[in-house]
Amino acid sequence: MGRRERETVARAVRLHDAARSLTDDHGRAVEAVRAALRPIQDAAVEQGLDALPVARLQDATEGRLRLAGVEKSGLRTVRQVLEAGPYRLRQIPGVGQRTADQMVGAARQLSDAVRETVAVRIDVDRPEPRTTALVTALHVLVEAGPDARHAVGAAAELVERLDPLLADARPAARRLGMVVAGRARKARALKAVEELRALVAEAAEAGTPEALAQASVDLLRGTSDDLAAWVDFELRSAEYYGLLAEISGRAPDTAAAEGFLPDGIAERVRGQQLDDSRLRVSLRGYQAFGARFALAQRRVILGDEMGLGKTVQAMAALTHLAAEGQSHFMVVCPASVLVNWTRELESRTSLHVTPLHGPDRHEAFAYWKGRGGAAVTTFDALRGFPAPGGGEMGMLVVDEAHAVKNPKALRSQAVAQWAGHCERVLFMTGTPMENRVAEFRNLVRMLDEGVADRVDDRAGLPGSVAFRKAVAPVYLRRNQVDVLAELPALQHTDEWEEPSASDEEAYREAVRSGNFMAMRRAAYARPEKSAKLVRLREIVQETAENGLKVVVFSHFRDVLGAVGDALDTGRRTHGPVVGPLTGSVPPERRQLLVDEFAAVPGPAVLLAQIQAGGVGLNIQAASVVVICEPQVKPTIEQQAVARAHRMGQVRPVRVHRLLAPGGVDERMVEMLRRKARLFDTYARRSAVAEATPDAVDVSDTELARRIVAEEQERLGFATGSAASEPLLDAGTGLVADERSSSA
């Protein structure tokens, strides 16, 4: 009997040691971040205190201090008072021990307040030793990823469960331990051994030992070099900032993060469990709350401002339900974001994803019904599918839900029918609804008729707080400024748009002719049916709804013309369209156009050719940048974005790059991604590279020829003809097309 018990205890000890080792490794990685963060915070606090005049000490002491003598002594700022200390302060005429102590105490109080509010910004364009140390420390944890975070959580739980059991089982671990133990001690040991056996078996079945070992390896691997960490930070800065906020304890104001919900609803949401084991990305605190809100309230509208990650919150809710045993989920969205949804679900969750779009959508629907997972379809396609039976669907998610605000529209009726058959429904919209009460009520009626009946047309008039209180059971909205303590200054989103049939036809014609430039702008060749233009209008409209300005960049003048025509009918909602700013516009006139754009009091759109608008201009008025097609050099895009994302820009900048899958866009993105590290190694930190995008040509003259040849082969066109040898500009490696692209 003794040998079996000893083996069980030994296995439990090994599992405990592995769990303890992982928690220690993780603790050291976290402490490394805190150590790197400390001097940056200290410097930021000192800078903040330098900006506070001595007179602010009166605020902390309710005006009891007399500071005239202090200011005359040369101490002008709160920081100088702190550095002077009580001894030097007492040397000032009229300042005694009590006054000096009060001044130092008030200064420390202000210092603590500044430390609570100071935000750490990591400037990727001006790396210095302190920020490099922070980025490399964060890189270890970001690179380890969500799997390591889950493993650390499992390790902490194992240590907590194993500690008391191993203590009780100690007699069974030694040959004579049970012989000398008393009856009660022996009984506790045998019971503990049985519980250890079950716990070890449970961990083995779940693959926990392997997960612990892999997580330890990932945490100890470290970063290859500083440059690799900086490159990774640029690619996924939001993950770095999210982790930084979590470690620093700089959580946003709780009420703001919870959308100022009434206490009763907020408490219920906080009590909702969230299983993120099937999610491949880490959640920020407010995002976890949003997912819990959708789960706890069951039928809701998530109305967060653009850039706060509504999609990942929806995915968190879906994966939680999948972990609970739900098998079928439906995502309904505009056709322009169907590819995005499909890719996000595939890369960020473990759910099986089935797009329901195109001529084979009914076969795909039957497959999804049998296979399960997440189906992604469009508003129009949903009308052709039968509504589910009761209890069949885990959750219905409707993106850009403001598109179904009109109850008379067929798409609205289809969504309403599906929503009526689903226990859980999540509508998503970044459009603020406070001033659109009638439209909002139509959406709410699909979710909760009782709440809809209580919302009258005057609900939004007293202000957003009154409106949110009235609709709190079904509506959650947070703004960036309220919930992002360390606000990412720059957010990149690749918008993959499924080409329309007309887009595909135009693209095939361009490939057949071997015209690289025509291939790049084929998505806009037939504007009336352009999928990219549909998405661009949506981005501009949502930007305007949030009171922001947008700049649209393209390499091609005729693309900008198509964009201008497409936006022309909506000027009353998105504001004036300024430009286009092209290479043919004299330099002095270019800045006048930018000034005209900045002077518009509300939303506006600036159209700019990327080579002309991306150099030498300051476009800080724009908070959103749209790039119509991928550029052949990373520097071209980077310099264009830098026109908006620069000193003087007080809001974060969101960059949307419009891409079409399967063709020239995808091939360019793949090639440029492979070259990105080489570019960063040799050019990114170079003053010469900052001066001109042609300093290092990472898009060599073979890029266009290679893509044309590969696309002709993929689409079945004969190669080797003159058409497959596109005319190239030797100076840039681009296909020459002076009529449409000259800058």
Model pLDDT for residues 244-278, shown as the tens digit of each residue? 888 887 656 678 888 888 889 999 999 999 999 89
Query: Does some domain include residue 71?
Result: yes
CB neighbourhood size of 683 (10 A): 19
Residue 188 shares a structural domain with residue 298:
no
Q: Tell which wins on pLDDT, 673 or 221.
A: 221
Domain contains 129: no
**22-65 confidence digits (pLDDT tens):** 999 999 999 999 999 999 989 888 888 888 888 888 765 665 66
Query: Where residue 390 falls among pLDDT bands split at 50, 70, 90?
Result: confident
- 448 pLDDT more than 90: yes
Question: Is 112 among the domain residues?
Answer: yes
- For 67-71, 425-429, 593-597, which range has the lowest pLDDT when averaged over its residues? 67-71
Shared domain check, 650 and 571: yes
306 and 423 within one domain: yes
Q: Which of 204, 221, 238 is the last residue of a domain?
A: 221
pLDDT band, residue 616 (cuts 50/70/90): very low
Read off the pLDDT of each residue in 652-657 and give the average, rounded to a whole number: 86
- For residues 191 and 263, membership in a common domain is answered with no
Say what the pLDDT of residue 737 is. Answer: 43
The burial class, CB within 10 Å (0-12 / 13-18 / 19+), for 723 is middle
What per-residue confidence (pLDDT) applies to 730? 32
pLDDT confidence tier of residue 91, bands split at 50, 70 and 90: confident
- Whether residue 304 contacts residue 290, with contact meaning beta carbons closer than 8 Å, is answered with yes
Of 242 and 657, more confident = 657
Say if pTM beats, i.e. exceeds, 0.75: no
Query: 479 and 499 share a domain?
Result: no
Residue 232 within any structural domain of the chain: no
Q: Which amino acid, one-letter code, is at 60?
A: A
pLDDT value at 632 more than 90: no
**Shared-domain flag, residues 46 and 150:** yes
Q: Specify the pLDDT at position 699.
A: 42
Domain boundary among 483, 505, 530: 483
The domain boundary, picked from 419, 454, 483, lies at 483
Question: Looking at residue 407, what is its pLDDT?
Answer: 92
Give the CATH number for residue 575: 3.40.50.300
Angle between helices 2-50 and 129-168 (to 10 degrees): 150
Nearest one of 400, 404, 436 to 534, comparing CA atoms: 400
CA angle 654, 657, 663 (to 5 degrees): 165
Same domain, 450 and 525: no
In a domain, residue 240? The reply is: no
> 370 with 515, same domain?
no
Of the listed ranges 581-585, 605-609, 645-649, the least confidently predicted one is 645-649
| CATH number for position 431 | 3.40.50.10810
State mean pLDDT over 285-297. Answer: 94
Instruction: Estimate the crossing angle of helix 2-50 against helix 183-205, to 10 degrees.
Output: 70
Co-location of 151 and 76 in the same domain? yes
Asked whether residue 691 is assigned to any structural domain, the reply reads yes
> How confident is the model over 321-346, as pLDDT tens digits?
999 999 999 999 988 778 879 989 99
132 part of a folded domain: no
Question: Looking at the structure, do residues 162 and 260 belong to the same domain, yes or no?
Answer: no
| Residue 548 CA to its chain's centroid (Å) | 19
189 lies in the same domain as 272: no
Mean pLDDT for 691-711 is: 62
Q: How many domains does the chain have?
A: 3
CB 659 within 8 Å of CB 630: yes
Q: Which residues contact 511 (CB under 8 A, 6 or more apart)?
A: 519, 663, 708, 711, 712, 715, 717
Q: Give the residue from 21, 4, 1, 11 showing the smallest Cα distance to 196.
A: 11
| 593, amino acid identity | L
- pLDDT at 691 (0 to 100): 39
Residue keyed to tokens 């691997």: 221
Are residues 498 and 609 part of one domain?
yes
Instruction: Please confirm whether the linkage preceding 262 is cis (ω < 30° from 0).
Output: no
Domain with 509 in it: 490-741
Is 233 contained in some domain?
Answer: no
Contact 531, 660 (CB under 8 A): yes
Q: What is the mean pLDDT of residues 510-539?
A: 94
| Residue, of 189 and 424, whose pLDDT is higher | 424
The sign of the dihedral angle between the CA atoms of 610, 615, 621, 625 is: positive
| CA–CA dist 741, 65 (Å, integer) | 67
> Going by C-beta distance under 8 Å and a sequence separation of 6 or more, which residues neighbour residue 561?
580
Counted residue by residue, the chain has a size of 743
For the segment 573-581, the average pLDDT, to the nearest whole number, is 87
Average pLDDT over the chain reads: 83
Stretch 97-110: mean pLDDT = 86
